[in-house]
Amino acid sequence: MQKLIYIKTSKRCELVDITEYVKSVVKISGVAEGIVNVYVQGATAGIMIQENRDYSVQEDVLELLKRLIPEGIWKHDRQDGNGDSHLKAGLIGPSENIPVINGKLGLSTWQNIFLCEFDGPRNKRQVVITIR
């Protein structure tokens, strides 16, 4: 089964929790045991599994990426000003695989799935959820 979801982002760089969307797709799929792949289409966004309870972890992730890959110093910035966005997305990666166990996402208590926006805000980030 495969489903597309569309996520609106509101900042240039942010982590958007999409776990509930993915859970709902797993539920309607009827798959009891398998794997779900969450993949964002686009060269300036990523998918990450991260802490869901303490928002400071998400802020720390963004701060780390900001320090590692600052804005405005890359060759690609001469074209459209988002060289850092491409590099951050490449570092994080476009997808995550999560096991489906007894019809539910196999995430631990403190894990959620995040769309990592690095070139927003965007009206529509397309995320592909594939369950097998």
Write down all domains in the chain, each with its CATH number in brackets. 2-131 (2.60.120.460)
Give the span between the Cα atoms of 92 and 71, in whole angstroms.
17
Please give the mean pLDDT across all residues of the chain.
96
Q: What is the DSSP letter of 45?
A: E
Start-to-end Cα distance in the chain: 7
For 29-67, the pLDDT digits (tens) are: 999 999 999 999 999 999 999 998 888 999 999 999 999
